[in-house]
Amino acid sequence: MPESFRAILVTRNEDKSQSVSETELTETDLMEGDVTVAVEATTVNYKDGLAITGKSPVVRRFPLIPGIDFAGTVLSSEHPDWHPGDKVVLNGWGVGETHHGAYAGRARVKGDWLVPLPEGMTSLQAMAIGTAGYTAMLCVIALERHGIVPERGPVVVTGAAGGVGSVAVSILGKLGYHVVASTGRPAEADYLRDLGAAEIIDRAELSEPGKPLGKERWAGGVDAVGSHTLANVLAQTSYGGAVAACGLAQGMDLPASVAPFILRGVSLLGIDSVMAPKVIRMEAWRRLADELDHEKLTSLSTTIGFSDIVPAAHDIVAGKVRGRLVVDMGAES
């Protein structure tokens, strides 16, 4: 009999109601791919929370194993780039949405979706960064390419106590930016300052309907919130500035005007982590290995076990999670 492994499976009934359960699967239950990986660590991202709770239609194929990122060891490969024993990382590519994902002991994926685990980094450390940290670095790279360097002025990070926000604050702070951290959790002020924030503002300053243009407050921003928050960030960005948008925690809408774009030359930089080309993925992971303060990863992350995934998914959607949730697939809780 094939060796079995634990997995979380999302299913949908005829009435389209969603259910989630822990089950035992074997490699014969996995989808097509040319590399099979032993999943050693994964994360619970906001998107994973939406997938498990059904709050948003993240899962688009049923039944499906959720989990959008993982790190582990190659068990078998028909892909020329990968061999048994290789340490790898995966982010995105529809894994956990249309292709079986990380919340299982094994994953079978396309080799083109994988990148090498950075030298000297463990699977747990990689997942302390995870898709959230990788996305944060994509935002930083986009801002830099637009000329938003520390000398240009402050940068704002919305949802600063969340997964993307925490890593963005840490990276930007280490690179010398004056970081303005926007959060709805005042109790996290010391945590955010320890990460590298120079100022803390209440998210209420940005979350309500605002004016088409406001006082110029920052040269750039990283926004993981969307909706009125992103509109207000844009309205308060200084001339020639730019904002990298990567999330929708407040909403998918953008109730803004063209004023920041045509009167101040502000740019809105869209960040997609799911289908990003391999070359930029490699750059992002290289820089994360070199530039992220890995001592701060401890304060950024909480390690949980496999059995904690579903409760954690509900907590992250409810806004109860600070920083990163790392799943040690070999631990119970």
Looking at the fold, whether 264 and 145 belong to one and the same domain comes out as yes
User: Are 320 and 218 contained in the same domain?
Assistant: no
What pLDDT digit, counting tens, does each position of 150-160 carry?
Answer: 999 999 999 99
Domain, as residue range, for 12: 4-117+297-328
Question: Contact 300/195 with Cβ under 8 angstroms?
Answer: yes
Cβ partners under 8 Å of residue 56, min gap 6: 50
Residues 257, 178 share a domain: yes
Report yes or no on 252 lying in a domain: yes
The domain boundary, picked from 222, 253, 270, lies at: 270
Residue 100 sits in the same domain as residue 11: yes
* pLDDT confidence of residue 71: 98
Q: How many helices (H) and strands (E) does the chain have?
A: 10, 15
> Which CATH number does the domain housing residue 158 bear?
3.40.50.720
Q: Model confidence over 233-261: pLDDT tens digits?
A: 999 999 999 999 999 999 999 999 999 99
241 and 324 both lie in a single domain:
no
Average pLDDT over residues 210-221: 97
Distance CA 101, CA 64 (A): 8
Answer yes or no: do 190 and 75 share one domain.
no
pLDDT tens figures, 70-123: 999 999 999 999 999 999 999 999 999 999 999 999 999 999 999 999 999 999
Taking alpha carbons only, the member of 89, 75, 86, 66 closest to residue 34 is 75
Predicted confidence band of residue 333 (pLDDT cuts 50, 70, 90): low
DSSP label of 117: P
Mean pLDDT of all residues belonging to the chain: 94
Domain membership flag for residue 221: yes
Q: Kindly report, residue by residue over 51-65, the tens digit of the pLDDT.
A: 999 988 899 999 999
pLDDT tens sequence across 9-35: 999 988 888 999 999 999 999 999 999
Q: How many folded domains does the chain comprise?
A: 2
pLDDT score, position 23? 96
* Whether residues 23 and 143 fall in one domain: no
175-207 pLDDT tens trace: 999 999 999 988 999 999 999 999 999 999 999
Tokens representing residue 70 in the block: 């993982």
CATH (domain of 97): 3.90.180.10
Lookup result for tokens 């909480």: 302
d(CA 31, CA 100) in angstroms, rounded, equals: 7
In a domain, 284, yes or no: no
27, part of any domain? yes
Indicate if 164 and 228 belong to the same structural domain.
Answer: yes
